[in-house]
Amino acid sequence: MTRRQIAILVLFDVVWALAVFGQHSTVLWQALLTALMVVLATGMRTLALAIAVSGVALDAVLIQYNVLSMAGTPSAMPLHLALLWLGFGLALAACRKRMPQSPVTLALLGGALGSLGYYLGERFGALELAPTTAAGVAIIGLCWAVLFPLCRTLFSALAPNPLGGKS
């Protein structure tokens, strides 16, 4: 991996922590760090935006159906969550060449990692899952099991050349 890719991944970890522990109060820092990630992400911005739009849409549906909720945002997408999705899109695009090729492996990986991320978010008090924590984790795991293979499809569509292409 290049230094830029590593920097993007480290910055995403910081953005995740800010989103989970600071939520609305750290939006300015999240925005600044995400902007830095965008600057570093030459050749990956289209992919990142496609992933971010997909993730925001997914979370919007989960919020609308009350599977996912955050204090003070009963039916809207909070800015800190949208910024987190953009950061995630940039991080995933940065390591796209290291992702498994198998859709089954991607589905299992996505289901496990997505569930874990939201479970930790709930444990740290950043969000609530419904109708129960276990059911919310299961629903989100299924959604992410679809999302990760979809991301691979987006990579193929938006950056068909493995050496750079359109990305």
Give the model's pLDDT for residue 146: 95
Residues 6+ apart with CB under 8 A from 164: 43
Do 82 and 56 touch, CB atoms closer than 8 A? yes
Give the model's pLDDT for residue 165: 44
**Cα Rg of the chain (Å, integer):** 15
Task: Please state the pTM of the whole predicted model.
Answer: 0.87
Give the model's pLDDT for residue 161: 52
Give the model's pLDDT for residue 29: 97
Give the model's pLDDT for residue 74: 56
Give the model's pLDDT for residue 24: 85
Question: Tokens 């995630």 label which residue?
Answer: 88
Q: Which two tokens stand for residue 136?
A: 């919310």
pLDDT by residue for the chain (167 residues), tens digit each? 899 999 999 999 999 999 999 988 999 999 999 999 999 998 888 889 999 999 999 999 999 898 998 866 555 788 989 999 999 999 998 988 888 889 999 999 999 999 999 999 999 988 999 999 999 999 999 999 999 999 888 887 876 554 444 44
Do 33 and 15 touch, CB atoms closer than 8 A? yes
Give the model's pLDDT for residue 56: 94
